[in-house]
Amino acid sequence: MRLILLTLALFSILIASCERKKTSREGEIHIYLLSDHESLDPLWEIDESTIVTEVSPFIKYEDILSYDPKNHTFKISSNAQENLKGKEFDIHTRAFVLVANLENIYTGYFWASYSSAICPWLTIDPIHARYAGELRVELGYPGLMEGMSITDRRNDERILSILRHDQKLIE
């Protein structure tokens, strides 16, 4: 009987002393490339009711290391940088959607900084991202121009609460 009690006591101590993996999660954020969508003319605004995403995320949550809401910049892993380097972006565009907890939060374009065309919608420069290791989400390219109006959801609370919960939000 003592052997059983001693075994149970040791087992209980062993279980109590184990470091527990964090299991509670607020959610996840992913960036998907779009395989199909329609734009609202004459702007580049993406009609969110028409988007079709690729099956797998292009930038996965585990590859998002941090987010700075002041300059709207995601720091990304070297894995994500390699993913960007392996992807061809044509001279103008590749559409994306940022998804939080399976909800589309905002859309935009990977828009190369060497493009001479303007884009009056959210943009991320894939060239900068490849080498700097960060995704800077900008209002338009080459910036928000006079007369342009873009709905800004870059600091949507659904995004910030997930990042805050996982200590990835720079405050």
Residue range 15-57, pLDDT digits in tens: 444 443 343 457 999 999 999 999 886 668 899 999 999 999 9
Please identify which residue in the block is written with the tokens 């338009």. 140
Instruction: Kindly state whether residue 7 falls inside one of the protein's structural domains.
Output: no
Residue ranges making up the domain that contains 74 = 29-165
Please identify which residue in the block is written with the tokens 């609460």. 161
Instruction: Kindly state whether residue 159 falls inside one of the protein's structural domains.
Output: yes
Q: Which pTM was predicted?
A: 0.82
Number of H helices, E strands in the chain: 4, 8
Bridge partners of 31, per DSSP, are 59, 98
Total domains present in the chain: 1
Instruction: Kindly state whether residue 142 falls inside one of the protein's structural domains.
Output: yes
Instruction: Kindly state whether residue 127 falls inside one of the protein's structural domains.
Output: yes
Residue 136 in 3-state DSSP? strand
